[in-house]
Chains A and B, each alone.
Chain A
Amino acid sequence: DVKVTQSSRYLVKRTGEKVFLECVQDMDHENMFWYRQDPGLGLRLIYFSYDVKMKEKGDIPEGYSVSREKKERFSLILESASTNQTSMYLCASSPLLGTGLVTQYFGPGTRLLVL
Chain B
Amino acid sequence: KNEVEQSPQNLTAQEGEFITINCSYSVGISALHWLQQHPGGGIVSLFMLSSGKKKHGRLIATINIQEKHSSLHITASHPRDSAVYICAVRLLSQFYFGTGTSLTVIP
Contact = CB atoms under 8 A, between A and B. Distances in A.
Interface in A53-103: 56, 88, 90, 92, 97-98, 101-103
B107 interface: no
B45 interface: yes
Nearest to A110: B41
Nearest to B42: A108
Contacts of A42: 2, 86, 97-100
Interface in B33-53: 33, 35, 40-45, 48-50
A41 interface: yes
Contacts of A56: 93
Contacts, number: 57
Contact of B33 (A31, A97, A103): A103
A40 B99 contact: yes
Contacts of B40: 108-109
A10 B88 CA distance: 26
Given A97-B93, A107-B42, 14 more contacts: A31-B93, A42-B99, A42-B100, A43-B95, A44-B97, A45-B94, A48-B93, A101-B49, A101-B50, A104-B33, A104-B45, A105-B45, A106-B45, A108-B42
26 contacts: A40-B99, A41-B99, A42-B2, A42-B98, A42-B99, A42-B100, A43-B86, A43-B88, A43-B95, A50-B93, A88-B41, A90-B43, A97-B93, A98-B92, A101-B48, A102-B48, A103-B33, A104-B45, A105-B45, A106-B43, A107-B42, A108-B40, A108-B42, A109-B41, A109-B42, A111-B41
Interface of A: 9, 31, 33, 40-45, 48, 50, 56, 88, 90, 92, 97-98, 101-109, 111
B31 interface: yes
B42 A106 contact: yes
A interface secondary structure, majority: strand
Contacts of B2: 42
B90 interface: yes
